[in-house]
Amino acid sequence: MERKRKTPQEKKLLSYVKDTRNTYGESSRSRFAIAKRKTFHHQALRHEQKLILNKTIKVIDEEIDLIESKVKSVKPKRWRKCADSPLGEIISDKVEELNTIEIVKNLRSRRILQMAKKRWKPKSRYSRWGW
């Protein structure tokens, strides 16, 4: 069975659907921040467990089960990344935004022209002498 080759236009449409962009409102360096946040929360979990274990270093064998349950009861603090937006949505929003900006610019320029026409009235050549 032969596969149908995709045209460049089909590939572009698929990329708009599959590709995503971070729209959370962070800078382009947020990809580093994501990893840092994950490691920070894992470190906090390990730190809490270590504190519990350090408090109970001199322990009788009977209390080991109790300590183990305390360590396991420490719940991890979760950090989850917000889902990225599909590239197609982002591009359509940008195009829409640019169109509205263009409309506003046109309206402003029309308004300015209308105001200028009202203020500036052409004088006749002979108005100076009252003819």
Domain ranges of the chain: 27-83, 85-121
Element (H, E) at 86: strand 85-86
Checking if the pLDDT of 112 tops 80, the result is no
What 3-state DSSP class applies to 76? coil
pLDDT in tens, 45-102: 889 888 887 777 666 666 777 777 777 787 777 777 777 888 888 888 888 888 888 8
Token reading at 46: 């390990």
* CA neighbor of 89 nearest in space, from 12, 23, 24: 23
pTM: 0.44
Please give the C-alpha separations between residue 82 and each of 18, 24, 76, in angstroms, as whole numbers.
Answer: 17, 7, 19
Token reading at 64: 């080991």
At 112, which amino acid appears? I
pLDDT in tens, 1-23: 688 899 999 998 888 888 888 77
- Could you tell me if 84 and 22 are in contact, meaning their C-beta atoms sit under 8 angstroms apart? yes
Q: Give pLDDT, residue 7.
A: 93
Q: Give pLDDT, residue 17.
A: 87
